[in-house]
Amino acid sequence: MKTLIYVGNKVSSHGLNVSTIDTLGALLQGEGYKVVVASSKKNILLRFLHMLWVVFVHRKQTDFVLIDTYSTLSFWYAFYVSKLCKYLRLPYIPILHGGNLPYRFSTSRKATSFLVNYAFKTVIPSEYLHSHLKEFDIPRVQIIPNAVELENYTFKMRDSFRPKLLWVRALAKIYNPEMAVQVVAILKKEYPEAQLTMIGPFKDISKLEMQTIIDSYGLEVQLPGKLSKEEWIARAKDYDIFINTTTIDNMPVSVIEAMALGLPVVSTNVGGIPFLIEHGKTGQLVESNNPQAMVAAIKMYLNDFNFANHISVNANKQVQNFDWRVVKHQWIQLFESN
């Protein structure tokens, strides 16, 4: 089997969410690939230097370098690692993430052009990113979706749908967590029993800041913080509707997971979400930053069991395409094409 170096932000041990480098790296190892991962250093400078060092040290044993590529500051990790790979003549594969990457491609044209033009292949996880990056003429593109091991997600057929809402993302401004609080505040006027739990690590919003927002609406919202995958999946059984309030997105794994668990989803209609959810068939889409519209969509689930159940079943069928047992063959074919 081939040896892979996987470069990205493996920082879940520091209180942040599990990311693609954690999940995909482990899945590839499970298929027999030797995967060397960098980096889990907490300090961003040390993390960057460790990435370069790992690539250099393992250069003679490596078949491919996988590079998680985001639109944020982490983009520059990817850029400089790609430059090192070119210098060392190592085939590298950028894996593009984040709904805001088209903006990065627009504002850093030279760097992004270098990154993709010298790549062995560029992997894009969604049709959304692919369509929005077409104007940049990225060569050698392959669409491989984010994968989940569906055998770990038990689909629950619900007997009823109650106003018990679940939200799972990092507590960050781009995911608009305050909108989730506004939604339950409005919903409680008609459904006093409405509940909301928001699971995820505190990123650029602290727990104190989030609690202050919740208190300003006079609500009780559960904020358990970061939970393991197994912990939040176990909790999901007690909820009936999943809400996603983000302002920027690509192909969020948490939404795919909710669909696998049988939770009907209401999401903002942003980024790659409409490529994942077909409105009225596999979920409901509403305008970004419009809590009233999200409440109206939630009430459709609460007032029409057959509709909610229909959405739940269709969504579960949809996510079969993201099962690792399906997706892994695309990765294997990519590696064997060298």
Given a cut of 80, whether residue 13 has pLDDT beyond it is no
The pLDDT confidence band at residue 14, using thresholds 50, 70 and 90, is low
Q: What is the mean pLDDT of the chain?
A: 94
The answer to whether residues 39 and 10 touch, using CB atoms and an 8 Å cutoff, is yes
Q: Are residue 65 and residue 160 in the same domain, yes or no?
A: no
What per-residue confidence (pLDDT) applies to 16?
65
- Indicate if 86 and 220 belong to the same structural domain: no
User: What pLDDT, in 10s, does the model give residues 194-236?
Assistant: 999 999 999 899 999 999 999 999 999 999 999 988 999 999 9
Within this chain, do residues 158 and 259 fall inside the same structural domain, yes or no? yes
- What is the pTM for the complete model shown? 0.87
Shared domain for 75 and 173, answered yes or no, is no
Mean pLDDT of 72-96: 96
Q: Would you say residue 71 has pLDDT above 90?
A: no
Distance from C-alpha of 78 to C-alpha of 235, rounded to nearest angstrom = 36
Shared domain check, 175 and 124: no
DSSP per residue, 58-76: TTTT-SEEEEEE-SSTTHH
Q: Are residues 265 and 157 in the same domain?
A: yes
Residue 37 sits in the same domain as residue 97: yes
Both 29 and 100 in one domain: the answer is: yes
Between CA 10 and CA 18 the distance in angstroms is: 8
Q: How many domains does the chain have?
A: 2
Note whether 255 and 285 are within 8 A (CB).
no
User: What mean pLDDT do residues 235-250 have?
Assistant: 94
Higher pLDDT, 167 or 128: 167
Looking at the structure, tell me whether residues 94 and 164 fall in a common domain. no
Task: Tell which residue, 210, 213, 237, 212, has the closest CA to residue 224.
Answer: 210
Q: Are 245 and 180 in contact (CB under 8 A)?
A: yes
Residues 221, 181: contact at Cβ < 8 Å? yes
The order of strands in the sheet holding 122-124 is: 34-38, 3-7, 64-69, 92-96, 122-124, 141-143
Phi-psi domain of 316 (left: phi exceeds 0; alpha: psi -120 through 50; beta: other):
alpha
Residues 107 and 190 in one domain: no
Q: What residue type is assigned to position 106 of the chain?
A: S
Task: Tell whether 120 and 200 lie within a shared domain.
Answer: no
What the block records as the tokens of 177 is 């967590």
d(CA 146, CA 165): 24
Distance CA(209)–CA(54), nearest Å, equals 38
The reply to whether 312 and 328 lie within a common domain is: no
Domain hosting 87: range is 3-147+323-336
Q: CATH number, domain at 30?
A: 3.40.50.2000
Confidence of residue 18 (pLDDT cuts 50, 70, 90): confident
Q: Which residues contact 147 (CB under 8 A, 6 or more apart)?
A: 23, 24, 27, 322, 323, 324, 326, 327, 328
pLDDT digits (tens, 9 = 90+) for 245-300: 999 888 889 999 999 999 999 999 998 899 999 999 999 999 999 999 999 999 99
CA distances from 95 to 142, 196, 200, 202 (A): 10, 34, 24, 25
pLDDT of 58 > 80? The answer is: yes
DSSP three-state, residue 202: strand
